[in-house]
């Protein structure tokens, strides 16, 4: 029997990933209720802080994707309120949410990650887009993968096969952020590895292999049933699977993450994984990868979410500023 009497699931927000977040929040709320937990689901608006102060939850499960949900902002507010929550603290979120920074951190601990260039929109405006794009192709080669430096759900991301496709990819990227990450494309098997810590240190769940119908795992392929085929566990050799698990746990640890994360990788023809990015608030929808990994591991998603909340509730929360100190 759980000692959680009341938990709060945060979903929605104002990022481009609002609809996905709402779906994640509904799923988490449903599986928690199935385990007997009293769950309240709230959006992040002006009513949130007064509601939390009036009816303090035992713990919060953050299912906000993109923006404030993953950049540490909402978690900072929860800490100001003295409310424990599942997931990484604000400082770790800020590092992990910025893809170029996260790549630099994991590379510093020896992980393999594709060569890349990170440039803000102003650089192309000031120096001339044509000249800069030509140097990018000369330096990184083709094909390339372009994506916003911050954000998720593949919004603004493009696979670039030729130099002629690069300008349009940059325009699409800048529609979702002011800074672009341009990576050398690594051909191979796309894999996602979820990491959970239920009290005995971070452990990798079975890797999930992603095979989109159109070849690119874009927004539609991620969230439209039937557009992508998944294999859980991934169809990898035992050695490659172990390497993926080790990379995901190492990234989780190096970035200072907590409770749960999901690392996206490409496994090349030699069976070597390459780090792409990490997610501090993995999707929890019916087509999301973490729930697939949980099922492949023979675990129950509701029980896992409840355990994460129980661990969060038992952590020492930052003292509420309104509480007099002894």
| pLDDT for position 224 | 64
d(CA 254, CA 165): 35
Q: How confident is the model at residue 217 (pLDDT cuts 50, 70, 90)?
A: low
**How sure is the predictor about 223, in pLDDT bands with cuts at 50, 70 and 90?**
low
| pTM to 2 decimal places | 0.91
> In this structure, is the dihedral angle defined by the CA atoms of residues 314, 317, 323 and 324, taken in order, positive or negative?
positive
Q: Across residues 9-16, what is the average pLDDT?
A: 90
Measured CA to CA, the distance from residue 98 to residue 182 in angstroms comes to 14
CA 192, 284, 306, 36: dihedral to nearest 10 degrees? -150
- DSSP secondary structure of 68-99: GGTSSHHHHHHHHTT--BSS--HHHHHHHHBH
> Rounded to the nearest 10 degrees, how much is the dihedral formed by the CA atoms of 297, 300, 305, 307?
-90
Active site residue 279: yes
DSSP 163: G
Q: Which pair of structure tokens corresponds to residue 289?
A: 């990868």
Q: Are 171 and 240 within 8 A, CB to CB?
A: no
CA 223 – CA 243 distance, rounded (Å):
28
Q: What is the pLDDT averaged over residues 71-86?
A: 96
| Residue 264 among the catalytic residues | yes
> 24 catalytic, yes or no?
no
Closest to 264 in 3D by CA, of 177, 195, 170: 195
Helices (H) and strands (E) in the chain, counts: 12, 13
Q: Which of 25, 151, 283, 302 is labelled catalytic?
A: 283
Query: How much is the pLDDT for 266?
Result: 97
Q: What is the pLDDT of residues 237-246, one digit of tens each?
A: 999 999 999 9
Spatial contact of 57 and 8, defined as CB atoms under 8 Å apart: yes
266-302 pLDDT per residue, tens? 999 999 999 999 999 999 998 899 999 999 999 999 9
Lowest mean pLDDT among 161-165, 216-220, 299-303, 310-314: 216-220
259 contacts 59 by C-beta, under 8 angstroms = no
Q: How confident is the model at residue 323 (pLDDT cuts 50, 70, 90)?
A: very low
Using alpha carbons, select from 307, 281, 283 the residue that is nearest to residue 293: 283
Catalytic status, residue 320:
no
Of the listed 58, 279, 288, 310, which one is catalytic?
279
Cα Rg, the chain, nearest whole Å: 20
Is 3 catalytic? The answer is no
Average confidence score pLDDT of the chain: 92
Our answer to whether residue 277 is catalytic in this structure is yes
């Amino acid at each position: 029997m759980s000692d959680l009497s009341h938990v709060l699931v945060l979903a929605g927000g104002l990022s481009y990933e609002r609809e996905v977040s709402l779906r994640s929040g509904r799923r988490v709320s449903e599986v928690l209720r199935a385990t007997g937990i009293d769950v309240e689901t709230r959006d992040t608006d002006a009513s949130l802080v007064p509601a939390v102060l009036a009816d303090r939850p035992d713990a919060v499960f953050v299912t906000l994707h993109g923006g404030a949900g993953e950049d540490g902002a909402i978690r900072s507010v929860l800490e100001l309120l003295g409310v424990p929550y599942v997931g990484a603290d604000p400082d770790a979120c800020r590092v992990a949410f910025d893809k170029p920074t996260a790549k630099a951190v994991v590379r510093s601990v020896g992980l393999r990650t594709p060569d890349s260039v990170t440039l803000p929109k102003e650089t192309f405006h000031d120096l001339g887009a044509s000249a800069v794009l030509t140097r990018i192709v000369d330096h990184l080669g083709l094909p390339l993968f372009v994506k916003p430096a911050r954000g998720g759900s593949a919004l603004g991301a493009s696979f670039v096969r030729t130099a002629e496709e690069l300008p349009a990819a940059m325009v699409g990227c800048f529609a979702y952020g002011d800074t672009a990450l341009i990576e050398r494309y690594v051909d191979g098997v796309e894999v996602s590895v979820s990491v959970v810590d239920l009290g005995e240190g971070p452990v990798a769940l079975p890797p999930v292999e992603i095979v989109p119908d159109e070849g690119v795992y874009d927004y539609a392929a991620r969230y439209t049933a039937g557009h992508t085929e998944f294999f859980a566990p991934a169809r990898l050799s035992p050695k490659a699977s172990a390497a993926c698990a080790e990379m995901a746990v190492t990234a989780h640890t190096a970035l200072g993450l907590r409770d749960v994360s999901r690392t996206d990788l490409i496994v090349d023809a030699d069976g070597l994984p390459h780090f792409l990015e990490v997610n501090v608030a993995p999707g929890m929808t019916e087509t999301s990868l973490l729930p697939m990994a949980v099922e492949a591991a023979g675990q129950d998603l509701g029980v896992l979410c409840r355990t994460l909340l129980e661990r969060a509730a038992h952590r020492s929360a930052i003292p509420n500023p309104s509480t007099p100190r002894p």
